[in-house]
A and B are shown apart, each in its own frame.
Chain A
């Protein structure tokens, strides 16, 4: 039965998306939804999606309850979860509305709001891979694929319609015509694989605040790139004076105290690509975050590696410089001097604080690479 409610429900969801759109900058800036991430859904708290009425403020709220307790004893926290009087048709208390939005929808909203161009995958975007899916049932096939349940159901149906089924002697014997077999279909899927390399400076000058910014920005980058590719791999590299590949958890929670050599991270990135992600098969995205502090003499080597080895194979190489009270903030100038501020593959962005994340994402992804 098609219910009228479906139409109103989808209208409601449309309005919710509009609200998310309006508040997107806030959501992007505050990392609040990252922690709430399920597999494919995020739960977003939306304030007050209701029709406004004249109503009493806090000092008019209160009511009558039932049970034990002394005068002056607190019974419920104030704020949003207000207790309704729950009677007389008054409102059932205001809820903060939690809506579930799929990451796909979120990416779509992000894309529209930031006016992000769709990405043109490079190289073998049109390679198709054949996959076999067992989705249907046929009357013929090899015995090894016989669908036992369907076969017996079919036999039972036939016996019932023939009148040959006797409940007190419930024997079901399949004939040849009753037999059913699983069957497959070949589905071809385009393969456009991408790998995201996250590189971060974890030397002492990168504090938790800086890492929170990186984490938030990375969430949105992930969300967007995922919506553009069917398969996404992610790799994490941390470095101080030396670099290593780590898992996501370690990536965000390591703090070292040594000096900084960016070239070591580039080296790890390159060997990783060489081993696992053939640039002719993979779209490669690199995001490097640092507070801009590098050991002076390392700059020359870093720039050379970037220019000769990394940039030619990456779709995009993004450098985000997170402002830190400790770092020198020089590296971005070095890059600018070497490559200019407009470069096809290299995108630079300075992220002063959380509020700057929004624009930074736009800078990074706005090229449609």
Chain B
């Protein structure tokens, strides 16, 4: 397989290390696409990272900004990217040329963990494994539009698209939501009742039997049902739609090239979504395997200090930021331990004796098997929901924190297990973004767009919401609105192309 970007090819030594690491990984039952390593320098790695791993991606200023920040962080010694893997078949991984041999070993072992995860985790099942080619193709299409319509024009349009790129339905690749079948015909053409679509089915009967054959109650219920269905059909979309981007793509008055650009942005958003949904699991899994392989097989005496130093860096805890590497790997280890001891299931859960639970050991030995299963079926949300235990929470000194208006500080809110878990789940829901639906594409019967924020306790940030509405207006080209909650009351924020208004303002005026 030819190298993708003609970066440097591996040295003999690295080829040998790769052979060994791949061997160890396979021996443990990891299963991955062929993996191609490329050696790059820090500049190149930062550039590739800025593009989300795809050096052939479409041009846009924000990648330049990302690069600037990575470069600065690197040159000031604040941060360093060790490795980067792309979910593709074959997988591509970049190694930082200036790293020492110990780091290369560790990183390769880590990469095989990721590659196994990409291939086997259910949430990646629908991702495009030819994304390298498609990204390059997207890049070409957009560059082509830039040549034809001007860089600024296209880039400004991309800015608008990016404002709505996260308004997608992350579950839709797995669930068929839209009914492609035509609606069933309920009445014959020559039926007298056809004029009224809400009239219920009436069976023939003699007059005196009628209220037995066609009972009033059932008739009324059916009528109501039909009426509701009719209303739903008249709605547009018929049901609130979470893939706002798709709705805009299908219904906004976009030029062909614009629709194409939006579809590219949407496709890439779907491609990256599972990585957002499984950050803790994916990093935890890779960390679990690099530490297993390094400590059991690959590490020599001379590697020890470097290895320990690296691990202390990647696994460092923080009071303001939960380290996904740390949380992930500790949870896998906890699960492995519990399933090895048989510390799960009805008997265990029903045991009231804390001491007994602590020393529970049925020698079940199911740990390894269990974590492979976990990595196959879960995402971060379900992973935490299912496996974060009170015991784990205490052992790892987890707490929840929140912003305190009075002090202007983030303060520790609680160390109670239910609160901590709830906060964590809350932050993982929809990847920490508000959940938003299109509820009406013909609002007020004037072709305006109405979105609804499904309020779950946290308010939207108003200035961001306004800027987002501005972008959305540029796509929809008619006034746009979002319904949300502010201090307990429902409000409607609107943008009509000229000014931002809030239903609150109208009340005051």
Contacts and interface: CB of A to CB of B under 8 A. Distances in A.
Interface of A: 1, 3-5, 7-15, 49-79, 82-91, 95, 97, 99
Interface string B235-259: 0000000000000000000000000
B177 to A, nearest CB: 21
Contacts of A74: 404, 407, 409-411
Interface residues of B, number: 85
A63 B401 contact: yes
The 4 A-B residue pairs with the shortest CB-CB distance, nearest first, are: A89-B276, A60-B458, A62-B402, A12-B64
A88 B380 contact: yes
Contact of A55 (B63, B155, B433): B433
A63 B398 CA distance: 10
Contacts of B465: 54
Given A53-B163, A65-B319, A66-B318, A79 B408 contact: yes
A87 B163 contact: no
B342 interface: no
Contacts of B420: 64
Interface stretch (B90-98, B195-203, B321-329, B332-340): B321-329
A184 to B, nearest CB: 34
Contacts of A14: 61
Contacts of B51: 4-5
28 contacts: A3-B55, A4-B47, A4-B55, A5-B47, A7-B59, A8-B60, A9-B64, A52-B470, A53-B166, A54-B166, A54-B434, A56-B458, A61-B458, A64-B322, A64-B420, A64-B423, A65-B400, A68-B397, A74-B407, A76-B319, A79-B408, A86-B322, A88-B277, A88-B431, A88-B432, A89-B276, A89-B279, A95-B69
B279 A69 contact: no
Secondary structure call for the A interface: loop
Given A11-B155, A64-B322, 5 more contacts: A53-B468, A54-B464, A61-B458, A87-B428, A88-B380
Nearest to A73: B412
A71 B471 contact: no
Nearest to A68: B397
Interface in B211-242: none
A85 B322 CA distance: 6
B272 interface: yes
B462 A76 contact: no
Given A54-B468, A57-B462, A73-B412, A13 B280 contact: no
Contact of A4 (B59, B155, B408): B59
A77 B428 contact: no
B291 interface: no
Contacts of B162: 51
A343 to B, nearest CB: 44
A167 B396 CA distance: 59
A8 B468 contact: no
A75 B428 contact: no
A191 B450 CA distance: 66
B373 interface: no
Contacts of B404: 74, 78
Given A12-B62, A89-B276, A83 B321 contact: yes
B163 A63 contact: no
Q: Taking each of B280, B324, B397, B401, which has the highest tally of chain A beta carbons within 10 Å of its own beta carbon?
A: B401
Contacts of A73: 411-412
A8 to B, nearest CB: 3
Q: Taking each of A11, A15, A82, A89, which has the highest tally of chain B beta carbons within 10 Å of its own beta carbon?
A: A89
A59 B401 contact: no
Given A8-B64, A10-B64, A70-B412, A88 B318 contact: no
B399 interface: yes
B78 to A, nearest CB: 12
Contacts of A59: 403, 405, 458-459
Contacts of B389: none
Interface string B426-449: 011001111010000000000000
Contacts of B323: 66, 86
Contacts of B321: 63, 65, 83-86
B62 A77 contact: no
Given A66-B318, A90-B276, A52 B467 contact: yes
A74 to B, nearest CB: 4
B50 interface: yes
Contact of B320 (A54, A68, A83, A87): A83
Interface string B323-363: 11011000000000000000000000000000000000000
A65 B413 CA distance: 10
B460 interface: yes
B214 to A, nearest CB: 50
Contacts of B155: 11
Given A3-B44, A87-B380, A52 B471 contact: yes
Contact of A66 (B317, B402, B433, B459): B317
A58 B405 contact: yes
A50 B467 CA distance: 11
